[in-house]
Amino acid sequence: MPAVGRSMAAATTDEFIKFIGAKPDFFLDTKVLHQENPNIPGRPVIFGPKFTAQRLYQLSPPEDLTLALSLIRPANRFDEDALMKDEKLLTEAGYGSARRVFVVVEDDLGIPAEFQRRMIAQSPGVEVETTTAGGGADHMAMLSRPEELVDLLLRIAAIHGERDDM
């Protein structure tokens, strides 16, 4: 979660890499690729099947994992992009004034709950909800616990809708 006064790269990618640094095998079979087009910034990354199955979809239905594996494509990391490094981009008047609710996914192995809480701690005023009822949700909460996630999002929307009416 980005934080006011910090670059988006620092608040997300850079800190996550430091967080998992003690776990050199965290990304399993994920590959960092060479950018062939000099006009496209960033470093392409492609998640491997082991990483996808063990860190992102470990609690999702097998058919969703199968579909995900068939759709995986390289994606650019934009952590070197000037916009991602701009510490003045997220201001208190803009980003900081928006209500934010962070849903902690306890059994997310792609972005562990401990790191999710670190991101939350850097953004004072963020409300926190947790997915816990009836078992865990993985990184793909919309697939592993869809009913729970919908109920949670509807509850959040109802609460914020009531506050906006005041």
Domain ranges of the chain: 8-162
From residue 9, give the alpha-carbon distance in Å to each of 45, 86, 90, 107, 119: 16, 9, 12, 24, 12
Model confidence at 17, in pLDDT bands (50, 70, 90)?
confident
Q: Report pLDDT for 14.
A: 79
DSSP state of 32: E
More confident residue, 146 or 36: 146
**Neighbouring-strand partners of residue 43:** 77
pLDDT tens-place string over residues 101-130: 999 999 999 999 999 998 888 887 888 888
Q: Report pLDDT for 163.
A: 60
Task: Find the mean pLDDT for residues 142-157.
Answer: 92
Tokens found for residue 55: 């860190």
State if pTM tops 0.75.
yes
Q: In whole angstroms, what is the distance from residue 150 CA to residue 80 CA? A: 35
Residue 158's CB is within 10 A of a number of other CB atoms, namely 10
Domain 8-162 has CATH 3.40.50.1820: yes
**Neighbouring-strand partners of residue 76:** 44
The vertex-39 CA angle with 81 and 3, nearest 5°, equals 10
Contacts of 65 by beta carbon, 8 Å cutoff, 6+ apart = 52, 53, 57
Model confidence at 26, in pLDDT bands (50, 70, 90)?
very high
Cross-sheet strand order for the sheet of 31-32: 31-32, 43-46, 75-77
Is 133 in contact with 54 (CB distance < 8 Å)?
A: no
Q: In whole angstroms, what is the distance from residue 100 CA to residue 156 CA? A: 10
